[in-house]
Amino acid sequence: MADSPAMATPQPMGQAPVARINGVALNSTAEWLDEEALRQRACTELLRQAAQQGGLLAQDDVPGVEGAISTEASNAIEQLLERELPIPDPSEEACRRYHDAHPAAHAHGGRAQLRHVLFAVTPGVDVKQLRLRAEAMLIDLRCADDGGAKFAEAAAQWSNCPSGQQGGDLGWLTRADCAPEFAREVFGSAEIGVLARLVHSRFGLHVVEVVARDPGQQPSFEEVRRAIALTLRQQAWVNALRQYLQVLAGAAVVDGVSLDAADSPLVQ
């Protein structure tokens, strides 16, 4: 699952609509931004303005070009979040629950034998239609009970990966062999068979079958207690940030951008 070169998407003609937070422009009329990029800028601007209102940043600080912020603003936002989002240490009970629910999360040397059908997201593709086709195939392949023959046929016909010619076979892979977002989905549970959901990665949408698993070496709870605590703290911080952004967005005048903090790239 190596990285592939980024491909530029043609931009629409004419002037871009300008999105604003409390009257502050997030882009220029020459900048066509997708919804995700606009949300990221909006969330950053909400935090920059909150830092000003909280007395952590000078009132004459302004956003830079193309969404950039000053070093002073970046430092002020960091101070703001430290002040507004105090996160307590997770309890021993919470850490043990996480350990029991995610037995493979900290395994060493774990690997999985995988097959997949890749629906690549390329410039100009209708992502909605691509998703519908991928979801229909996911259901079809999960219902198949033929020893994998149907999966191999689907991979050969539809997969945008060279592995399609081998029935989608990727062989035995470890976490390190995969793109991080792909690895999280595949190695985050102990499922065997065609996974119940599409796996999203930088390459597109995958229908994935886990043929077999080798769990590797399972560390004791004591060995991974600190790592689990850090994971739970990060999860709690992300949830707190999401809620804080929702509060800020609710109190702001937002124009030209849909702000659902739960989907913001800033909190992913």
Q: How confident is the model at residue 8 (pLDDT cuts 50, 70, 90)?
A: very low
Comparing 154 with 15, the larger pLDDT belongs to 154
How distant, in Å, are the alpha carbons of 13, 245, 263 from that of 85? Answer: 42, 11, 19
Pairwise CA distance, residues 18 & 247, whole Å = 23
Q: In a 3-state reduction of DSSP, which class is residue 118?
A: strand
Structure tokens at 37: 């990029």
Q: ∠254-258-264 over CA atoms, to 5°?
A: 110
For 106, which DSSP code? T
Cβ–Cβ < 8 Å for 24, 49: yes
Instruction: Indicate if the pLDDT at residue 62 is higher than 80.
Output: yes
Q: What share of the chain is helix, strand, coil (3-state, %, to 5)?
A: 45, 15, 40
205 beta partners: 119, 200
Task: State the pLDDT at residue 219.
Answer: 84
How distant, in Å, are the alpha carbons of 32, 33, 37, 56 from that of 27? Answer: 8, 8, 10, 25
Q: How confident is the model at residue 79 (pLDDT cuts 50, 70, 90)?
A: very high
Instruction: Indicate if the pLDDT at residue 260 is higher than 80.
Output: no
Amino acid at 237: W
Residues 6+ apart with CB under 8 A from 230: none
- Dihedrals phi, psi of 61, to nearest 5 degrees: -70, 135
Instruction: Indicate if the pLDDT at residue 255 is higher than 60.
Output: yes
Residues 6+ apart with CB under 8 A from 160: 118, 119, 120, 204
Pairwise CA distance, residues 142 & 148, whole Å = 10
Cβ–Cβ < 8 Å for 158, 117: yes
Cβ–Cβ < 8 Å for 193, 138: no
- Dihedrals phi, psi of 211, to nearest 5 degrees: -75, -40
Q: Give the residue-averaged pLDDT of 152-178.
A: 95
Point out the least confidently predicted range of 44-48, 65-69, 76-80, 126-130. Answer: 65-69
**Is the CA virtual torsion 194, 197, 200, 204 positive or negative?**
positive
pTM of the model: 0.58
Instruction: Indicate if the pLDDT at residue 3 is higher than 60.
Output: no
